[in-house]
Structure 1
Amino acid sequence: MEFATFILAAQRGYHQSCDGVIRNSIEQAVVAEQAGFDTAWFPEHHFNNYSLIPSPLMMVAHCAGLTSTIRLGTAVCVLPLHQPQRLLSEIGFADIVANGRLELGVGPGYQQFEFERFGANIDEVPAVFSEYLDILLKGLNQDIFEHDGRYENIPPTAISVRPVQKPTPPIWIAGGPARMSRAYREGHNVFVTAFHNGLEGLSTLRDSIEKTAAAEGKNVTDAKISLLRCCYASDDDAEISSYLDNARFQRRLSEALHQRRQQSLDGYLLQETPTQQDLSFETMRENLPIGSVNRVIDRLLEEMDILKPDQIAIQSQLGDFDQKTMLRQIELWGDKIIPAVNKALAPAGV
C-alpha cells in the first residue's frame, strides 16, 4: 500500500501568516519523506484562505530541491485556469528538477469564486477541461503537435522543456463520473474521496468505481486509485478534537465554495458557517480512521478491504492545527502505522 500526504496549506484566520502556512506545508513534505511516505500532494486554489497554494507545480519544484525520494504531485492543476501550452513546459520543468518524481494530477475545478476572477465561465468547465487535457496529452506524447479545437487553436508546436519520465509522468484525474470514465478509457489514475462518511460511503464509492470501469470495458485494477482521507492517531482527546475541528472547518469552506454560497466580510477570509451537513465529532470519530494507533490501523485495514485503493492520502495540513503536533503525527505514521498496515497486507510467509 502506498501512503501519501495531502497538504492543503489552509489559513484559518489572520493569526496565521501566509508565509508561515507555506513554510509549514513545505516542512511537512520534507518530514513525510523522512517518515517513509511515498508521495506528497499539493492542490491549486486562488483568492481566499481555503488553500494558499496558487501553483502546485511551483511547490513541486521547490520541494524537489529539499527531498530526494518522495514523489511530488499536483492534486490538482485546475486545467481550465491555465493556458495548456505554457503548462506543458512547466510540467516538463517540474519533472526535470524533481529527477522524474512528478505525479501529474489534473482536474476541472469547482470554485466559481476562482473562475470569476480569472474571467472564466465555470459552466463551460467540462468542455474546457476535456479539450485542455487533449492538448496536454498531445504535447506530452508528440515531439511536434497541433490542435484545432473550440477553445484553442495551436499551430505545429514543439515543447522545448520535456519531462524526464517517458512517455509521460503518471497522470491522475479528479472529478465526477465523466472524468473517472475518461481515466479508465485512457489508462490514467483516479483520485476519490468519501469525505467524512463511513464504511457505507466507501462501499458505495467502490460500487461506482467498478461500474465505471466495467462500462469502459476495463478491469477496476487498470487504474490506480488514491483515497483522500482524514486520519489521525492519538490517545489525547484534545488533540483529536482539534484535528476534527480543523477537518470540519475545511469541509465547511469546501461545501460553501462548491455550492457558490461563500461569504466574506473583507473579500478574502471566508466565513465558517455551520450547515445541516455537519457531523458531530463523535460521528466523525466513528466514521474515520481516528483514535488510538491500533484503532487507526484496524480501521484502515477495514476500509482498504472495502475500497481496495492503491494509495491512502492522509490530510495533514488543515486549518490552524498545531505544526509541531502534526509533524509528530507524520513521524508516528512512519514509525508505527505504515509498517503495521503493510505487514498486515503482506502475503502469508513474506
Structure 2
Amino acid sequence: MEFGIFILMQQRGYHQTSAEVLRSAVEQTVTADQAGFDTAWYAEHHFSNYGLCPSPLMMIAHMAALTKRIRLGSAVCVLPMYHPARLLAEAGFCDSISNGRLEFGVGSGYQKFEFDRFGVNIEEAPEIFHEFLEVIQLGLKEKGFFYEGKHIQLPLTSISMRSVQKPMPPIWLATGHPDTQARAIREGHNLFVTALLSGKEKLQQMRDSLSAIAAKEGRDIDDTKVGLLRCAFASDNADEVTSYLENARYQRRISEALKFRRAQSDDGFMVKEEESPNDLTLDQMRANLPVGSVDQVVERMVQEIRILRPKHVAIQTQMGDFDHKTMLKQIELWGSRIIPAIRKELGDSMPAASVAAE
C-alpha cells in the first residue's frame, strides 16, 4: 500500500504571493520525502489562482535535486496543451535527473479557460489526448518512430533524452471517463480516480464501475494499479479540522466554477469564490471524509481502502490558504503514525513509513 501527497499550489488571495506558494510546495515535498511518503504529485494549471504550477515536469526536475528517495509524479500533464515530442524529451530528462523516480501522469484537461489561451479547442481534447497518448508510448518505447494522425504527423523521430526506467516510466491516466479507464486497463497503465468530497457510497460505486469495465476487457481490476486522490486530515484541534475542510470546499467551488464556465473574476486571474449548487456543509464533509482524531482517520481510511482497494492513496495537502506550518506537521504525523497504523490494520507487508535516515 503506497501513500503520496498531492500538491495543487493554490493561491487563495493576494495575501499569498506566488513565490510563497511555490516555497510551501517545495517544503512539503521535502518533508514528505523525510516522512517516508512514496510519491509527491504536482498538478498542472494556467492563468488563474486555482493552481500555480505551469509545468509538473519542471517541478519534478527541481525536486529531484532536493529529495533522496520519494518518487515524483505529474498529476497531470495536460496532453492537448503540449507538442508530444517536446513532452517526451522533458519526461526523459526528468526520469534521468531523478534517477528513475518519475511517475508520468497524463490527462485530457477540463478547463476551457486554459484551452482558449493555448489556442486548443476543448471539444477536440479527448480525441487529441488519445492520439497523443499513442505518440507518447511510441516515443518512450522506441528509439526511432514515426506517426501519422489527424492532429499530429511526425517523420522518423528519435528522442534524445531517454528515460532510465525500462521500457518506460509508469504511465498514469487521471480520468473518470469509462472509455479512457478501459484503455488504461487494456494497455496496462495505472489509473488515478477521486471521490471528490463524497463518502463511502461513492467509493463503492467507483469500485463497481471499475470492476465492470475491467470485466468487459477480460481483466480483473485488481490487476490494475489504481490510485485514489483523497482529502484527509487528522487532528484533535477542531479549528484545524474545520479550516482544512473549509479550504477543501473552497478548492471544489473554484474547480467547478472553471469547469462549468461560470467563474467570475475582477482582474482575469483571481477567481471569486461563490457558493456552488453542489456544495456540502462542513458537517456533511466531516461525515464523508477521513477527518478527526488519528484513530478516526486510520479507521476511516482502512474502511475506504477495503471498499475501493486502491494500491495508492494520495492525500491533498496544499489547498487554499491552509496554514503551511500546520500542514508540515500533518505530513510528519502521517509518516510517523497514520501510515504505519493503516498498513498494520491492512496486514500490509510493505515496510512502515518512517523518517528517512539516508
Q: Normalized against structure 2, the TM-score is what?
A: 0.96
Cα deviation digits, residues 254-311 of structure 1 (max 9, x gap): 1111111111111100011101211111110110000000000000011011100101
Other-structure match for 2:164: 164
Structure 2 counterparts to residues 26-41 of structure 1, below 5 A: 26-41=26-41
Unaligned stretches of 5+ residues in structure 2: 352-358
| CA distance in 1: counterparts of 2:86 and 2:74, whole angstroms | 16
Structure 2 counterparts to residues 81-120 of structure 1, below 5 A: 81-120=81-120
| CA distance in 2: counterparts of 1:245 and 1:290, whole angstroms | 12
Shift of 1:347: 6.3
| CA distance in 1: counterparts of 2:120 and 2:216, whole angstroms | 32
Q: Partner letter of residue 49 of structure 1?
A: N
Cα deviation digits, residues 212-257 of structure 1 (max 9, x gap): 1111111112210110000000011110111011000000011111
Q: Secondary structure at the match of 1:154?
A: strand
User: Identity over aligned residues, as a percent?
Assistant: 56
Residues 148 and 230 from structure 1, CA distance in 2 versus in 1: closer, same or farther, beyond 3 angstroms?
same
| CA distance in 1: counterparts of 2:264 and 2:254, whole angstroms | 10
| CA distance in 1: counterparts of 2:25 and 2:291, whole angstroms | 22
Other-structure match for 2:54: 54
Cα deviation digits, residues 182-237 of structure 1 (max 9, x gap): 10010000000000111111100111110111111111122101100000000111
Unaligned stretches of 5+ residues in structure 1: none
Q: Normalized against structure 1, the TM-score is what?
A: 0.98
Structure 2 counterparts to residues 235-274 of structure 1, below 5 A: 235-274=236-275
Q: Secondary structure at the match of 1:277?
A: coil
Other-structure match for 1:336: 337
Q: Answer yes or no: is 1:24 the counterpart of 2:31.
A: no
Other-structure match for 1:2: 2
| CA distance in 2: counterparts of 1:273 and 1:177, whole angstroms | 30
Other-structure match for 1:346: 347
| CA distance in 2: counterparts of 1:179 and 1:254, whole angstroms | 21
Q: Partner letter of residue 340 of structure 1?
A: A
| CA distance in 2: counterparts of 1:261 and 1:218, whole angstroms | 40
Q: Secondary structure at the match of 2:157?
A: strand
| CA distance in 2: counterparts of 1:122 and 1:112, whole angstroms | 6
| CA distance in 2: counterparts of 1:222 and 1:205, whole angstroms | 16
Q: Secondary structure at the match of 1:73?
A: strand
Cα deviation digits, residues 291-339 of structure 1 (max 9, x gap): 0000000000110111001011000000000000000000000111001
Shift of 1:178: 1.6
Other-structure match for 1:302: 303
Q: Secondary structure at the match of 1:54?
A: coil
| CA distance in 1: counterparts of 2:91 and 2:277, whole angstroms | 40
